[in-house]
Chains A and B, each alone.
Chain A
C-alpha cells in the first residue's frame, strides 16, 4: 500500500508543535472588524452563532480588552439586543426582521429560536453585559413551552407548534439558558414553571445506542455531537451520574451505561486523518481506501513497537511516528475532523475522563495538521480555516489547557472567566439563594430600571407588556 500523506507532508522530526497565537488573533479580529466573505451567505441565518464564536474566540485569546474599544463593545451589545424579541428570546439574524411592519399575524416568520437565545446570552456574558435589558422572565416562561410530551425540546414555536428536530441539541441549549438565568434551582421560580427535568433525562436515556453511544433519537446512529449535547445538558441540570453537584437523591437517569459511553468516546480517537489514507490492516481483508477508515489504530506487534503502554497514562509520549497525530471522528469508521476533537474531548472533560485519551496527540493533530498558516483551523489537514472549526479547535486546546489561552468550561462552551462572571451577577445570586421562600419577593420586583437602556431597541414595537417583562430580575448589574 502507498505511503500515507502524513509521511509526505510532514518531515520526520519531533519539533514542538506550537500555537501561532498572533495569527489566530489576526484571524478573529478580521472576522470581528470586517464583513465576512460572501460564502458565509449560506450562514446568514446563523449570525448570532457566528457572533458568539467570534467574541468567545477573542475572549479565549485574551485580547478583548486590548482590541475592542468600550464604544465598539457597547455597539456590539446593542446589536445583540436588537435581536431580542418581545415574545421572549432572540432571533438568529436581522434578516428575518420586518421592522415596523412586524405584527401579530406575521411574527411567526420571525420567531425567537432556542439556539439564537442560547448564543445571545452566552455572547452577552462574554461581553460582560449587565443583563439589564435581557427579558429573563419572558425567556424562562418560554422555555417549557418548547418542550414536547416526550421530553425533547424543539427549536421554535410557530402557530403553537414546536418545530425543529427531537434531538438533544435543543435540549442542550434549553438547559444552558436555564443554567445561565436560574442556575440549578429546580421547580417553579417566581411563578415561572420549570422544564420537565425527568422527561428530558428520559429522552436522553432512550437515545443511548447498542454500541454505547448517544444518538439523535432512539435507534438512530450514535454521534459525538449528540453525545456532547446530551452530556452537557445533564451536567447543566446537575444530573450526571455521580455528579458531585447533585444535591438531590434521584436515581441516575439519563446516562445509564456510563462505562460503555466512555469507551465509545475514547474509541473516537483515530490517526486516520485523510480519506486518502491507505493502510492495510490484514492481508486477508478486502480493504480499500474507501472502506479502511480506522486502520491506523491497529498496529502490528513486530513492525511498530510502542513505548506508550509502558508508561503511566498521566504522562507519556507515543513512540510510534504516525500515532503522534491523532484527531477524533464523530462516528465509528469515519475519518478525523477538527470539530469532533471538541465534541469528543469536550464530552470526556465534562465526564472528567479526558485523561483516558491521548490529549497530546490530539493537540499535535490540531496544531500540526488542522491549524492554518493564516490563523484559524480547517476541518481537515490542508483545508482553509472556517469560523466553526476555528472556534472549536481553539476551544479544544483551551480545555487541555494551552498556555496563552484562558481556561475553558466545556459544558457552557465559554471561558471559565465568563462563567464566573455569570455566577457573580447579583440578580442571579438572589434568584438562586432565595429559591426556598424569599423567591417571590426578589424576583417579582418590576423595577423601572429597565428603562435605563443605553440605546433604543426594536422590541417595543408591538408589545405593551414589554417594559414589565423586560425588568424581570433587573435588580442590579454585575
Chain B
C-alpha cells in the first residue's frame, strides 16, 4: 500500500523494519507511514551498498523528510559518483532543498563535495544571492562562501563589491562585515598594504557615521586598528565625534563611549575620565550591561597588569 511496496521497481527488495529491540524506547517518534516505509527500503539498499538511480531517488525522498540523517548524504554522494549522475542536475535539486531547509548543515557539506567535483563555481553566486534574500545572515551559507572563495580563488572576483551591496541593504549585517574581514585579511599571511588599511578604516568610519549605534563597524574598526599595530588612542578623535564626557546628554553611541573609556584607561592620568565614561554607560546609555561597566570601573582601581 505504499509508494515502494507497490512499485515493480522495488519488488526485489525486502525492506528492513526499524528495530527498537525492546519495550520503552526513548525519544520514539510518531512516524508517518511514508517515512517508515521509505526508511525500511533505505536500510535495505544501504545494507546491500546498492549504487543505483532508484536508490538515489529514494535518498531524495527521505532527505525531504529528514535532512539531518547523517549518513544518507555520504551514501548519496557515493551513488552520484558511482553511477556518474549529472552533477548539474544535482545542484539544481540541492538549490530547492537548501531553500526549503534553511538551517540544515549537511546540505552545505554535500554541496561542497559536488561543486568540488564539478570543478567550477559557475552559478554559485546567483544561488547564494537567492539564499541571502531569505536570510542574509545564514551561517552555513557564509561558511560555504568562504570555502568557495578559497577553492576557486575568488578573492578579487567581486566579493568586496558584493559585501558592500549587502551592507548597503543592511548596515548591521555582521556576517557581511565578517566576510569583508575575511576577504581583506584572510588571504594569506603577507602584510596588508597601508593604503588598504586606510581604506578599511575609512569604510568602517563612514558606516559608523551613518548609524553610530551599530556594533559591527565599531568592532571592525577596532579590529583593523589592532591588526595594523596602531594604538586605540589613534581612534580618540573619531570616537569623540559621537561621545564626550563633557557633554553627557549628547552621547550618540555607547560604543564610542566604551572606546573612549578604554583609551582613557590607558592614559597616565585618564582613570577618572574612564570612570566617568563607564558610569555613563552603566547608568544611562547601556544599563543592561551595568554589571559589566561597573566591573570595568573596578578594574581601573587595580594596578596595571601586563595586557
Residues of A within 8 A of B (CB): 31-32, 35-38, 40-48, 50-51, 54-55, 72, 75-76, 78-80, 82, 92, 94-99, 101-102, 105-106, 108-111, 113, 123, 155-156, 158, 163-165, 209-212, 216-223, 263, 266-267, 269-271, 281-282, 285-287, 290-299, 301-302, 304-313, 316, 318, 320, 323, 326, 331-334, 355-358, 361, 455, 458
Q: Quick one: which of B255-277 are within 8 Å of A by CB?
A: none
Query: Is B302 at the interface (CB under 8 A from chain A)?
Result: no
Given contacts A41-B29, A109-B74, A297-B254, 15 further A-B contacts (CB under 8 A): A36-B28, A38-B31, A41-B35, A48-B27, A110-B46, A211-B222, A216-B143, A219-B146, A282-B252, A290-B170, A295-B213, A308-B290, A309-B279, A316-B291, A356-B292
CA–CA, A467 and B172, complex, Å = 58
The answer to whether B66 and A98 touch across the interface, beta carbons within 8 angstroms, is no
The answer to whether A308 and B214 touch across the interface, beta carbons within 8 angstroms, is no
| CB within 8 Å for A42 and B210 given contacts A97-B19, A301-B249 | no
Query: Is B151 at the interface (CB under 8 A from chain A)?
Result: no
- Distance between A139 CB and nearest chain B CB, rounded to angstroms: 18
The answer to whether B290 and A309 touch across the interface, beta carbons within 8 angstroms, is yes
The 4 A-B pairs with the shortest beta carbon distances in the complex, nearest first, are: A309-B282, A210-B223, A309-B283, A313-B291
Query: Chain A residues with Cβ under 8 A from B223's Cβ?
Result: 210-211
CA–CA, A306 and B27, complex, Å = 47
Query: Chain B residues with Cβ under 8 A from A37's Cβ?
Result: 29-30
The interface residues of chain B, by DSSP majority, are classed as helix
- Distance between A309 CB and nearest chain B CB, rounded to angstroms: 3
The answer to whether B226 and A313 touch across the interface, beta carbons within 8 angstroms, is no
The answer to whether B105 and A165 touch across the interface, beta carbons within 8 angstroms, is yes
| CB within 8 Å for A333 and B285 given contacts A41-B31, A106-B49, A316-B290 | no
Closest to A218 in B: B186
CA–CA, A257 and B248, complex, Å = 31
Query: Chain A residues with Cβ under 8 A from B211's Cβ?
Result: 281-282, 285-287, 291
A32, A79, A163, A271: the one within 8 Å of B22 (CB): A79
Instruction: Pick the most buried of A55, A79, A92, A216: most chain B CB atoms within 10 A of its CB.
Output: A79
The answer to whether A270 and B288 touch across the interface, beta carbons within 8 angstroms, is yes
The answer to whether B290 and A46 touch across the interface, beta carbons within 8 angstroms, is no
Query: Is B82 at the interface (CB under 8 A from chain A)?
Result: no
CA–CA, A80 and B24, complex, Å = 11
CA–CA, A355 and B289, complex, Å = 10
| CB within 8 Å for A219 and B292 given contacts A78-B22, A98-B43, A210-B223 | no
The answer to whether B47 and A42 touch across the interface, beta carbons within 8 angstroms, is no
Query: Is B219 at the interface (CB under 8 A from chain A)?
Result: yes
A and B contact pairs by CB, cutoff 8 A, 20 listed: A44-B66, A48-B27, A50-B26, A51-B26, A72-B24, A79-B25, A82-B20, A97-B18, A165-B105, A210-B224, A211-B222, A218-B186, A219-B182, A282-B211, A285-B211, A304-B284, A318-B287, A318-B290, A332-B216, A356-B289
Q: Contact string, B89-133, partner A, CB cutoff 8 A, digits 1/0? A: 000000000000000010001000000000000000000000000
Residues of B within 8 A of A (CB): 16, 18-32, 35, 39, 43, 46-49, 65-71, 74-75, 105, 109, 137, 139, 142-143, 146, 170-175, 178, 181-182, 185-186, 210-216, 219-220, 222-224, 226-227, 248-249, 251-254, 279, 281-295
Query: Chain A residues with Cβ under 8 A from B31's Cβ?
Result: 38, 41, 44
Query: Chain B residues with Cβ under 8 A from A110's Cβ?
Result: 46, 71
Query: Chain B residues with Cβ under 8 A from A308's Cβ?
Result: 282-283, 287, 290
CA–CA, A437 and B126, complex, Å = 62
The answer to whether B292 and A95 touch across the interface, beta carbons within 8 angstroms, is no
The answer to whether A221 and B283 touch across the interface, beta carbons within 8 angstroms, is no
The answer to whether B25 and A94 touch across the interface, beta carbons within 8 angstroms, is yes
The answer to whether A98 and B47 touch across the interface, beta carbons within 8 angstroms, is yes
Query: Chain B residues with Cβ under 8 A from A211's Cβ?
Result: 219-220, 222-223
Query: Chain A residues with Cβ under 8 A from B35's Cβ?
Result: 41, 44
Query: Chain A residues with Cβ under 8 A from B49's Cβ?
Result: 105-106
Closest to B173 in A: A333
A51, A102, A106, A222: the one within 8 Å of B27 (CB): A51
CA–CA, A308 and B293, complex, Å = 11
The answer to whether A333 and B174 touch across the interface, beta carbons within 8 angstroms, is yes
The answer to whether B146 and A220 touch across the interface, beta carbons within 8 angstroms, is yes
The answer to whether B171 and A332 touch across the interface, beta carbons within 8 angstroms, is no
Query: Chain B residues with Cβ under 8 A from A106's Cβ?
Result: 46-49
Query: Chain B residues with Cβ under 8 A from A222's Cβ?
Result: 178
Query: Chain B residues with Cβ under 8 A from A309's Cβ?
Result: 279, 281-284, 287, 290, 293-294
- Distance between A120 CB and nearest chain B CB, rounded to angstroms: 10
Query: Chain B residues with Cβ under 8 A from A47's Cβ?
Result: 26-27, 29
Query: Chain A residues with Cβ under 8 A from B170's Cβ?
Result: 290-291
The answer to whether A306 and B32 touch across the interface, beta carbons within 8 angstroms, is no
Query: Chain B residues with Cβ under 8 A from A98's Cβ?
Result: 16, 43, 46-47
Closest to A161 in B: B74
CA–CA, A314 and B30, complex, Å = 47
Query: Chain A residues with Cβ under 8 A from B28's Cβ?
Result: 35-36
